[in-house]
Structure 1
């Protein structure tokens, strides 16, 4: 029996060697969450935490190859010495977003993302409950009350000072925070599962809990290491592409058949948009310092570094590109739900 394969359109969204692999870990053609999804025909999304990256570092570290190490070891021994080996080289590219965005813009995108995901799941043949409906249910009110404190803390991390300094985290209206990759929800005892049971009875639907990060550019970085006998040489080439991407994604399901798992489902790798946007990409150290005040660095200084690249894009083009990216992702996610619910 042949396994389902991704369409060409979906495959080209995945970078590098992921093109021929399954899009997600934990759900799809195979995965532990298929048991939870099997036979489910209705969903709602009570959690959807989105991190919008406004500053990004792409780093690559390369290790000396086995053949090179062997040759250098023999060379050192032939001269009565020893070769320390384990040479490595690295490079780093810093990109900074300059799009004139406000917190209200990011909140608008978060609400749009919620609607896009709901619509694509619905187009795939499932029933989708909107949070405006779920929020008024008595059973969900109990769960919302339980997680109110966590939700407030997560939302409190988003401020105007975050723009240009890292990640702006926002959540769509009427959603709550229940888990992320750093605080996997383990449950909460009998009382919590009683709440869930009542919610399942009232909604007759499975929860989808999502966390993802959206980056404003895609960096291609090629690092080469020559650990020769006369010394180590590291060279690197880089290219900043005006393509948005989902750099990380983790999600859980909670349904009548169980969940969440101690190992959330996730993307196998980055999800890159198939559309380029219009942008000016240039290097300006002084402007970079004015846009970004808090620097992050690798534990060890890279052998090759690049000046910060500023990605200048209009507010409108950024928001259009973000919606395009998320529409592509949502279509693939919805198709994966179809496979999972089919019990394959």
Structure 2
């Protein structure tokens, strides 16, 4: 049996050409999509003035908070239709309806991964390296911090911020691990800013130090604050404010997906910065991969985990039946690195848009 052959006419050729052009445009536009993830950096970002034509960067601050337990709460208002019906019902009896009702639901998740302080520290070092690598892959020069720390101009920066970093860094001992988020600074990094210190030590003396650093490095600083959560919680809350009284129901899902739940960052470059308000991630950045883990409820186990995290006076009550998220140390580390690689790729794309206008 002979094979069938297809000969496209001119109209089909033209259509195929259009489709191919659209496909190429979509691929080319890929890096630009990252700008939609952030406020303050991208096509119209307020930080672009500082970033314009900047070719070199280094990351002296990457404060990472690793969540160890999380309380997720969702408040839901009575629907407009229900509110309207209840208003009509009340008015028909010569009464006033008490206003739009609301209800809420809460889920607490606890991490069980066998992570010690040294593990969090090593992981933070690796995440810092991932962010540097992805920015390099995007076409920028990234200075090694070990080299920067040896520069004469950078010594006053280290002197000014080393003590502040020491106070912020992690926990005093492994026994303290568990108090919500473990804040860790990768090796050779320092704490320079958060949203309570928007000027990052500002004033003439600060800008004098920064100017000397810029002259020696020719590079811009990227200052990052990030919080990594170990699970993604979905809550579907429903409020029924009927004639028999208000009832609230909720459906809950705890998914084995890591996410970045907080991210604020700023830039200090030879062209300007820092600004009065940091740039930030618009919403939670959720990993597109699930990890291998067990999610279960066990009040006795939850109380035992909380006993390790808190003193007797401040330990939370477990009557609300929290969910334990159990992951092996290896899977936790792999999932965190995978999430952070995805994030770093998107951040690097947005940096291209801000610095190169592409």
TM-score if structure 2 supplies the norm length? 0.86
Distance of aligned partners of 1:156 and 1:319 in 2 relative to their CA distance in 1, 3 Å threshold: closer
How many pairs does the alignment contain?
A: 328
Tell me the distance in 2 between the aligned counterparts of 1:119 and 1:20. 17
Q: Residue 224 of structure 2 corresponds to which residue in structure 1?
A: 210
Aligned 1:186-335 pairs, distance under 5 A: 186-293=200-307, 294=310, 307-335=321-349
State the 4+ residue runs in structure 1 displaced beyond 6 angstroms.
4-11
| Pairing 1:337–2:348 present | no
* More helix as a share of residues: 2
Is residue 112 from structure 1 mapped to residue 116 from structure 2 by the alignment? no
Q: Does 1:168 align with 2:145?
A: no
Relative to 1, partners in 2 of residues 1:240 and 1:21: Cα closer, same or farther, differing over 3 Å?
farther
Query: Are residues 157 and 134 of structure 1, via their aligned partners in 2, closer, same or farther at CA, if it must alter by over 3 Å?
Result: same
Q: State the shift of 1:181 in Å.
A: 2.4
Structure 1 residue 148 displacement after superposition: 2.0
Greater CA drift, 183-192 or 114-123: 183-192
Deviation at 1:160, TM superposition (A): 2.3
How many angstroms does 1:187 deviate by?
4.2
Does the residue aligned with 1:330 lie in a helix, a strand or coil?
helix
Q: What is the CA–CA distance in structure 2 between the aligned matches of 1:278 and 1:8, rounded to whole Å?
A: 33
**Matching residue of 1:90:** 104
d(CA) in 2 for partners of 1:6 and 1:235? 44
Aligned counterpart for 1:148 among listed residues 153, 162, 175: 162
State the alpha-carbon separation in 2 of the partners of residues 66 and 28 from structure 1. Answer: 37
Deviations 1:18-44 (A, max 9, x none): x99810000012210011111000000
CA distance in 2, matches of 1:164, 1:316: 18
Consecutive unaligned residues of structure 2, counting only runs of 5 or more, are 1-24
TM-score by length of 1: 0.89
